[in-house]
Amino acid sequence: MDLTALPVVGALLHAGADLLAALTASLEPFAGSFSAALAVIALTLAVRVLLVPLSVLQVRAERDRRRLAPQLAALRRRYGRDRERLQRAVQELYASERVSPLAGCLPVLAQAPVVSLLYTLFTHASIGGVANTLLEATLVGVPLAQSLVVTVTSPLWVHAWVVLVLLAVLAVVVEASRRSNTRWNPTDPVDQDVPGAAAAASVGRIAPFVTVVFAAIAPLAAALYVVTSAVWALGERAVLRRALDRTAG
């Protein structure tokens, strides 16, 4: 079953295609052949601006978990190997302090529909029976609908450097974000006793680097979104953390 044929999905795809086409047309007089790629970047920045309130909640939750670290350590010492009792105590502490262990996932979850939309827009030859003109857009000779994997195995392989540069930038940003997170909010082993926290921590360590793999196999348009969003997130989190620390001080 083709999900794009569903009325709701089809309407969203048409709206997304129309929005990108309009942005591309408005940028073309100034950006020329870069207009489509810049339209994707503009869309990314617009989404990130809308998600700033969620990012604030995310950083506040990180700060609160850091603040609760001594209490969590005390609970671990108190209940020792009684994992069930420890889990209940930790849950009660988080509930009483109104801290959500999952708050850090909110910006990522909120962006998932947009990334899915871009991925779909640049992987379908037609939308609702209408030819998808977005597939004609390129960036330095590489179609925005083409991934690195496809590019290096096609006659356009000489232009693969464009995607490789993007992936290199993404890898650097991901590593910088990981180190920043470790410095600002060191992982406390007590958090592993929160129900689901161990799995979430494991995913949290791996997931950022999975985005590099995704960017390599996804259409270039989706890779542009991921890279732009990652760069924004790195700068945004640094600003928010500094602001919250200043307020707390």
- pLDDT (average), residues 9-25: 89
* Contact yes or no for 85/79 (Cβ under 8 A): yes
Residue 194 scores a pLDDT above 50:
no
For residue range 152-163, what is the model confidence (pLDDT) as tens digits? 888 888 889 999
Q: What is the pLDDT of residue 107?
A: 86
Residue 181 scores a pLDDT above 70:
yes
Domain boundaries, the chain: 3-248
- pLDDT (average), residues 177-196: 63
Which of the pair, 186 or 244, is modelled with greater confidence? 244
Q: What is the pLDDT of residue 204?
A: 61
Inter-residue long-range contacts of 200-205, CB under 8 Å, 24+ positions, other chains counted: 200/101, 200/102, 200/105, 204/104, 205/178
Residue 236 scores a pLDDT above 70:
yes
CA atoms of 238 and 226, how far apart (whole Å): 18
Q: What is the pLDDT of residue 4?
A: 64
Residue 188 scores a pLDDT above 60:
no
Residue 34's contacts (CB-CB under 8 Å, 6 or more residues apart) are: 27, 139
Q: For the chain, what is the mean pLDDT?
A: 84
For residue range 61-70, what is the model confidence (pLDDT) as tens digits? 888 877 887 7
- Name the nearest CA neighbour of 93 among 168, 234, 193, 187: 193
